[in-house]
Amino acid sequence: MSVIHPVANGLRTDHPVPGLPFINDERLPLDNPDAIERTGRNQGEGLWGRTDSLRGGGWVAFTTETKNRDYAWAVHQHPEHGRTVLLIRDQDMSSLHHDWMYGRSGFLYRHGGYWWDGAVWHRPSQVVDRAYEGYDARPVEDAITVTAADLLARPGVPGNARIAKIADFTAAEEPLPHWRDHLALWAASRRPGSLPLDRCVIDLRAPELEPGRFVDRPGLAQIAGLALEDLPHPKYGRSSLPVPQTETPDGPRWSRPVARDWAEQHRRVHGPQALLSGPTTFGTDQPLGLVADHQRLTKIISNSLEDVEGRKEKRVFGRAQTKLEDSAAQLAWWPAVALSDDTDGFIPVSALRTTLVEAVLGGLAEDVGRAGKANRTPVFLGDIRTDVVKLLDWYILREPDRTPALFGEICLLARLRFELDPKDIGALLRRSLRLDSELDGKTVDALLDLALPPSANRTRD
């Protein structure tokens, strides 16, 4: 999910974001999403608006603020939990729309992407689960939801706060001091029929969010098993790092579970290639399949060159032999690359991947069909055919970095076409590769731990 940083709360929101000012939103027709959309849509250059119904009920609506075009209003109306009214930067409108509509990551976001779905708090979405075309939802341990009633048990002073106006509003760099006073003014402004204060969600508390437990860049590198210099730098590679839970003068800080999730996703992205790579004769690391192809072609070419040399006059063997082998290695390299290069290679690798997916799904279809005829549940999944496993081996060894996408697509389509649980597909792949792959069992397990979607790795045989 993208992490949007709202700049203010609408006065009529039910779930204020801590530290942000409240803005008078009376001009916003909160009971009419179509009217919110029309406020900005097609009203002039640089103005936009949008509204959509949510699948579980409720709606979302967005509009550029016509009196201050750097900002936009975002409204989320939940059928049970009331409304969220945020002022965001206008450039963030489409990203927040996507998160609320399609992100499957709740509708309230705190502490760098921790999210609430109306029942449970989850950690920021980082670990991809291709079987469900989204992220693995990971609940926060011992999470406590903090409501407006909780915070106002020690009352603030409304007279020390004010409601901002949109026309002259400029986003602040730092959270408002004495925000409880602003919250008290918001509470005093609530209208009859508004959501009760004990249902207005403000924040969450959890042991993992105690600042003393956060880790810095060296801690993140240690958790990920990376050298500090190999970690993206916050100044230049911020988008490659997890969103921090807090910023300090010494740099970003992350909760340990967020750091562990980031490290897990990093291993899932980079681990298969590291696991299935080896040194070439030129001293570089390449996929094991490419290394094997190169060695095989080198031997073929070397033998051919030896035959040619054998017809010539006798020569000193040692140095000539070494030179011959070096020449063979040079001549064999690009033909070896061409075997698995999908751009201009001899084998259409993308087409092979599609064929592999359909071959595995074809076997699953037979299993599902047999179970249906016998009226048997659960479906017994037979081993993947040996020849298919051999082709899986060929692909995996030459395209290790694309293996997670391959396994993810198999799990996704098995779920959508046959309603098969991803963990059953994961167990089938693990069993079949253990039986017929040229990789040893330890390597198979290490690869599948990295490359299978989290939902396909819930349990191990």
- DSSP secondary structure, 289-348, as one string: HHHHHHHHHHHHHHHHHHHHHHTS----HHHHHHHHHHHHHHHHHHHHHHHH-TTT-SS-
Would you call the peptide bond into 378 cis, given omega within 30 degrees of 0 as the criterion? yes
- What number is the average pLDDT over the span 370-398? 93
Segment 367-374 shows an average pLDDT of 90
Q: In a 3-state reduction of DSSP, which class is residue 62?
A: strand
pLDDT of residue 1: 62
C-alpha 262: how far from chain center: 9
* Average pLDDT of the segment spanning 134-161: 95
Mean pLDDT, to the nearest integer, of 348-355? 93
Q: What is the pLDDT at residue 189?
A: 95
Strands 201-205 and 246-248: unpaired
pLDDT for 166 equals: 94
Calculate the average pLDDT of the chain. Answer: 92
Write down the pLDDT at residue 192: 92
Split at pLDDT 50, 70, 90, the class of 273 is very high
Reported pTM? 0.87
pLDDT tens for residues 64-114? 999 999 999 999 999 999 999 999 999 999 999 999 999 889 999 999 999
pLDDT tens column, 293-325: 999 999 888 887 776 555 554 444 445 556 777
Q: What is the mean pLDDT of residues 343-351?
A: 83
Instruction: Tell me what the mean pLDDT of segment 155-169 comes to.
Output: 93
Q: How far apart are CA 158 and CA 188, in angstroms?
A: 8
Alpha helices in 80-238 (DSSP H): 93-102, 148-151, 179-188, 217-224
Question: What pLDDT is stored for residue 310 in this prediction?
Answer: 56
Across 369-382, average pLDDT: 89
Place of tokens 């810095």: 216
pLDDT at residue number 28: 94
- Work out the average pLDDT over 182-204: 96
Q: What pLDDT sits at residue 460?
A: 46
Q: In this predicted structure, what is the pLDDT of residue 384?
A: 97
What gap in Å lies between CA 387 and CA 395, rounded to an integer? 13
Radius of gyration from C-alpha coordinates of the chain = 29
In DSSP notation, 92-108 reads: GHHHHHHHHHH--S-SE
List alpha helices for 141-208, DSSP H.
Answer: 148-151, 179-188
% of residues, the chain, pLDDT over 90 = 79
The mean-pLDDT minimum among 10-14, 118-122, 154-158 falls in: 154-158
Q: Tokens 């640089």 correspond to what residue?
A: 46
